[in-house]
Amino acid sequence: MSNFDPMKEVKKVSEGLTRVFEDAVNYAKGTSYSIPVDIYQTEEHIVLVAGPLYQVKPETLDVAINGDMLTISGETDPDPEIPDEAYIKRERRFGEFRRTVKLPQPFDGTGTKAKLKHNILKVFVPKGKIEVETPSETEEGEE
């Protein structure tokens, strides 16, 4: 018997609608498009898997972390060996892409590594938490 979790299903639908909305807005603006991602965790890392990124220009790839938000951006090109007029159907998008996802906690980005292999980008974010400074009791009394 499967464990049906209605809240998990609602979250999936919500995330899917958010992505569709972001894509529609970006398409209307003629700007970047979104890429699919999976996020999972290991003992040491939060791992984000993005793609496939066909014909990606590796020199355009950028991964940025700001608190609990991770952004991947870059650019893809159509296959130069296939002329535009040869296509019967063309669904894959090309050009600039950008995807921002919320991480489960804030990170400072130190030690983050990314690998691009077989058109799949994997980003490994070490799980070290950001230390939040709180005023000491002596500093609080000085105010």
DSSP labels, 79-113: -TTS-GGG-S---S--EEEEEEEEEEEEE--TT-E
The residue among 79 and 128 whose pLDDT is bigger is 79
Of 19-33, 34-48, 69-83, the range with the lowest mean pLDDT is 19-33
Give 85-112 pLDDT, tens digit per residue. Answer: 999 998 888 889 999 999 988 888 889 9
d(CA 76, CA 97): 8
pLDDT tens string 110-133: 899 999 999 999 999 998 754 445
Three-point CA angle 72, 120, 63, nearest 5°: 20
Is 63:49 a contact under the CB 8 Å cutoff?
A: no
pTM of the predicted structure, to 2 decimals: 0.66
